[in-house]
Amino acid sequence: MDEARLEFDSMYAAIAGSRVYRQVTHRAFPDLPEWLIPYSVSPSLVLLERIAQSLNIEPDSSFVDLACGMGGPGLWVSERTGASLVGIDFSAAAISAATKLARQRGIARATFVNAEATGTGLPKKSFDGLMSIDAIQFMDARSVATEIARILRPGGIVALTTMEALVDDLPVATVAKDYRAVFKATGFSICDYEQLADSFESDNALFESIDLYRDALVEEIGEAATPMLEEARDRLERAKAPPRVRKIFLVAQLQ
């Protein structure tokens, strides 16, 4: 767990101010606004709009972006809906970048907290919604669903993307096979579930873009770029084999 946190943290410390990583993401996700720098494989304006609609939040509401990374996706939803945002991530470097971005965009109703997603420290029954993009697969599924159920108000909605395992021997052991079953067992009813059909194309778009800019990334951020470059090559290689995970969009309501 600590190893994963340190890996994410040093990667965010490297890319947070990176001009080249900004170019990488704009090439991969041309529809996203310039200021929104994700570290995920499925972001698009269509997805963010769908999350905003699914959460059914408005200016009086509050929501969480769980494992928010550098804050862009949650801030976009907060700007779109007017709702207050608390972003959570266990990387201090990500939280620092997210806090800076909120300040730059003048969004005082957003705060970012450096915490573990399965034990956020947030008050119970206090949020109307929760979003999460490409992250809960890194956490014990039952523990994160239990924490989400704890902090949402009854009737609160979770809208997220994640991966489901199609095989037993994935390198990330926490990827669940059936998140609908996990959320149902934790007191949610399922409102929407869809396999993201184009997800592997968008995965490839990011990893192809990282690979294309590899020399520029190394020149700008040095050795810190290595894990990202290795992952990109590995993922492009694996994309040629039959899929071992499916990407999903899930919306569930706490009963």
Ligand X SMILES: C[S@@+](CC[C@H](N)C(=O)[O-])C[C@H]1O[C@@H](n2cnc3c(N)ncnc32)[C@H](O)[C@@H]1O
For ligand X, the closer of residues 215 and 231 by Cβ is 231
Question: Minimum distance between the CB of residue 28 and ligand X, rounded to whole angstroms?
Answer: 12
CA–CA distance, 253 with 166 (Å, rounded to integer):
25
CB 147 within 8 A of CB 115: no
Nearer to ligand X, 138 or 213 (CB): 138
Counting contacts by CB under 6 A, is residue 43 touching ligand X?
Answer: yes
Pick one of 79, 116, 208, 211: the residue that binds ligand X (CB under 6 A).
116
Closest approach, Cβ 138 to ligand X, in A, equals 4
Write out the binding residues for ligand X, residues 189-218 only, by CB under 6 A.
none
Interacting stretch for ligand X, rule CB under 6 A, among 51-59, 78-86, 127-135, 207-215?
Answer: 127-135
Q: Which amino acid is at 175?
A: V
Pick from 133, 163, 176, 248 the residue near ligand X by CB under 6 A. Answer: 133
Contact flag: residue 87 with ligand X (CB under 6 A) = no
> Which residue's beta carbon is nearest to the bound ligand X?
69
Residue 68 or 102 having the CB closest to ligand X: 68
Positions in 236-255 near ligand X (CB under 6 A): none
59-78 positions binding ligand X, by CB under 6 A: 67-69, 73
- Closest separation between CB of residue 140 and ligand X, Å? 9
- Does position 11 interact with ligand X (CB under 6 A)? The reply is no
Q: Which of 21, 112, 138, 213 binds ligand X (CB under 6 A)?
A: 138
Compute the distance between CA of residue 195 and CA of residue 108 in angstroms, rounded to an integer. Answer: 35
What would the DSSP string read from start to end of the chain? -HHHHHHHHHHHHHHTT-HHHHHHHHHH-TTS-TT----SSS--HHHHHHHHHHHT--TT-EEEEET-TTSHHHHHHHHHH--EEEEEES-HHHHHHHHHHHHHTT-TTEEEEE-BTTB--PPTT-EEEEEEES-GGGS-HHHHHHHHHHHEEEEEEEEEEEEEESSS--SSTT--S-HHHHHHHTTEEEEEEEE-TTHHHHHHHHHHHHHHTHHHHHHHHGGGGHHHHHHHHHHHHHTTSPPSEEEEEEEEEE-
Compose the 23-42 pattern: x for residues touching ligand X by CB under 6 A, - for all others. ---------------xxx--
The residues of the shown chain that bind ligand X, judged by CB under 6 A, are 8, 38-40, 43, 67-69, 73, 89-91, 94, 116-117, 133-135, 138-139
